[in-house]
Amino acid sequence: MAYRDGVVIDDRSRGIFRVHRSAMTSEQIFADERARIFNRCWLYVGHASEVARPGDYLRRWVGGQPVIFLRDSAGTVRIHYNTCTHRGATLCREESGNTRVFQCFYHAWTFDTTGKLVVTPGADAYAAGFDKADYALRGPARVAEYRGLYFINHDPDAVDLLTYLAGATEYLDLILDQGDEGMRIVDGAHRYSAKANWKLMVENSIDGYHAPTVHATYIDFVKDSGGGQNPAALGTGGGLDLGNGHAVIESVAAWAKPTYWEPFFGDEARPEIEAKRARLIGRYGAERGERIAGNFRNLLIFPNLIVNDVAAITVRRVEPVAPDRVSVEAWALAPVEEAAGSAALQRRLDNFLTFLGPGGFASPDDVEALESCQQGYAAQPAVEWSDISRGMARVPLPNDELQIRTFWRTWASQLDDAGFPEQVVDVEAPKVSQPAARS
């Protein structure tokens, strides 16, 4: 069965887009995703600032595989699989730290930070044909960086990262350009989950349609705090297919963000935030500077990285665990000049955890919505399809669903071994008033 037409129906003549709910429940589809998406696409691992000094390391699970993300003794960022080349024990057993070597606790094979095997206790027991060079730590086929964001690819034949990112780099730049001295990941991560398929978390992260309903209590909180939802925000901007499955929605900020002052932040914060905005305008000109400072943007890097520049900036990695289970790791990305203890960092982190955090006023309700969908899928096969048609016959608004369709089109195309689908520019469907164009 082809995924396109079988699981994803993309009927542009009628303006109908549907996804079969087995996409969220089938073990077979989950296995296909591992093989044809997660083993072929570029996957985000971490940011250079998380391993700032030589010897800094941390461990992560990426696409179901354990890796060590580190900066070697010479200062080069590297990614090794976290498994000893001897018998397989997990080599790095602490969450993070700083080291000169990794010593396996099982038989004490010891590797330097470049991955080279340097010690095998009782080396004279090995025959002449045993060459330590054959046992260096293995790494993913490809490792590449875009402005401090490190990605891996398990496919040696994959296109290079810059080509892969396609139109997404323009939007990453709008976020990464916000620091006067660069950007960094703030210490501490939100690690949460949902009993739901990973793709529901991706959809939700770039879905403007649900905000007024699911997040009514957050919007009330903003109002009570002297702010308000900018009523015009959802009527501005739109959704875009950025190529290769990446997609974005961008609009005027719906409420306060660290570069956009609202009464919510209090009068005392105003001069600093206005000065920050002025610096961005000085550096990038009025149009781009205002756009950086004053817009919200929710960006998907296919398949599972979300970089949302809203109430604060979150870098959110969506990790599939099982068809009905997803884990999330989310970090706050902040300008380097927002020092520890500064009011600016405080505002950013407060805004982050209140809106974006699993202990905040919004994300718990997102997770509830996803789990509720997953439970609803038990009504298959009587109820088989989900609908993602919103805004199909018009230039898409940020609360339409073009960006979610972009994800699904690419998902189906990758699973069909058909490469990346043609990018959708402007409207997807012929206008209803032009029936002649349908045939």
Partner 1 sequence: MTAAITGQDTGLRSRVEDFLYAEAALLDEWRLDDWLGLLTDDARYEVPSTDRPGGHPDTTLMLVSDTRSMITARVKRLNSRKAYREFPWSRTRRIVGNVRVLAVTESGELEVTANFAVYRTRNGQTHCYAGRSLHRLVPDGEGFLIAFRRAELDQETLDEHGTLSIIL
Residues of this chain that bind partner 1 (CB under 8 A): 95, 186-195, 214, 216-218, 220-221, 224-225, 327, 331-332, 340-341, 345-346, 349-350, 352-354, 357-361, 363-365, 367-369, 371
Bridge partners for 345 per DSSP: none
Burial letters for 426-436: b for 16+ Cβ neighbours within 10 Å, e otherwise? Answer: ebbbbeeeeee
- When the beta carbons of 163 and 217 are compared against partner 1, the nearer one is 217
- When the beta carbons of 84 and 349 are compared against partner 1, the nearer one is 349
- When the beta carbons of 190 and 291 are compared against partner 1, the nearer one is 190
Q: Which of 39, 5, 3, 2 is nearest to 23 (CA)?
A: 3
- When the beta carbons of 8 and 183 are compared against partner 1, the nearer one is 183
Angstrom distances, CA of residue 151 to CA of 73, 79, 144, 147, 318: 21, 9, 5, 11, 14
Q: CB of 65: closest distance to partner 1 in angstroms?
A: 17
The amino acid sitting at 132 is: K
Strand stretches in 229-276, DSSP E: 238-243, 246-252
Contact 260, 273 (CB under 8 A): yes
Contact 45, 35 (CB under 8 A): no
Q: Which of 236, 242, 110 is nearest to 168 (CA)?
A: 242
Q: CB of 229: closest distance to partner 1 in angstroms?
A: 15
Contact 142, 158 (CB under 8 A): yes
Q: CB of 37: closest distance to partner 1 in angstroms?
A: 22
Q: CB of 409: closest distance to partner 1 in angstroms?
A: 29
Q: CB of 255: closest distance to partner 1 in angstroms?
A: 14
- When the beta carbons of 254 and 367 are compared against partner 1, the nearer one is 367
120/52 Cα distance (integer angstroms): 30
What DSSP element (H or E) covers 161? helix 161-165
- When the beta carbons of 134 and 187 are compared against partner 1, the nearer one is 187
- When the beta carbons of 230 and 354 are compared against partner 1, the nearer one is 354
Q: CB of 97: closest distance to partner 1 in angstroms?
A: 13
Angstrom distances, CA of residue 274 to CA of 41, 126, 262, 322, 335: 40, 67, 10, 46, 15
Q: CB of 410: closest distance to partner 1 in angstroms?
A: 27
Q: CB of 305: closest distance to partner 1 in angstroms?
A: 18
Q: CB of 211: closest distance to partner 1 in angstroms?
A: 13
Q: CB of 47: closest distance to partner 1 in angstroms?
A: 14
- When the beta carbons of 72 and 338 are compared against partner 1, the nearer one is 338
Two tokens at 366? 């997102």
- When the beta carbons of 71 and 190 are compared against partner 1, the nearer one is 190
Contact 110, 101 (CB under 8 A): yes
Q: Which of 171, 276, 256, 264 is nearest to 225 (CA)?
A: 264
- When the beta carbons of 353 and 397 are compared against partner 1, the nearer one is 353
Angle at 133 between CA 132 and CA 138, to 5 degrees: 110
Q: How many CA atoms lie within 13 A of 117 on its CB side?
A: 20
